[in-house]
Structure 1
Amino acid sequence: MSSLETKELEFARQVRRALDENAASIPSATVDRLAMARRAALARKKPETVSAPVFVPALA
């Protein structure tokens, strides 16, 4: 793992820790609005395309 990847992972851990620690202090009205926004976004999400494996003939 490179130094940059290590720094990025540490930053991500710090952000996650800060979000987790402060999530309890978010007003319930805000939590409700965020939940509604998330549901709306998921409802608009385009379905993911499923790709089938492609077999390429090989000469023996």
Structure 2
Amino acid sequence: MREVSARCSTGNVVVTAVGDRVLLAVVTDDGLDTAAFRREMPGVVRELGHPLDADIAS
């Protein structure tokens, strides 16, 4: 799984894979700037992935 998103009347839920073992769930209100969110998420996933990769190696 790479990403799953659901849009509801009051907001959004986006679940994104971070590496092979972790899922990141983000819950937003209905004012989410989808373009900005999709632009920023790869960097967030990379940043979160580094410590997790180190944890797997140890």
Structure with greater helix share of residues: 1
Bigger radius of gyration: 1
- Higher RCO (CA 8 Å, separation ≥ 6 residues): 2
Structure with greater strand share of residues: 2
Q: Considering the TM-score relative to the shorter chain, is it more than 0.5?
A: no
Q: Aligning the two structures, in what range does the TM-score lie when normalised by the shorter sequence? A: 0.3 to 0.5
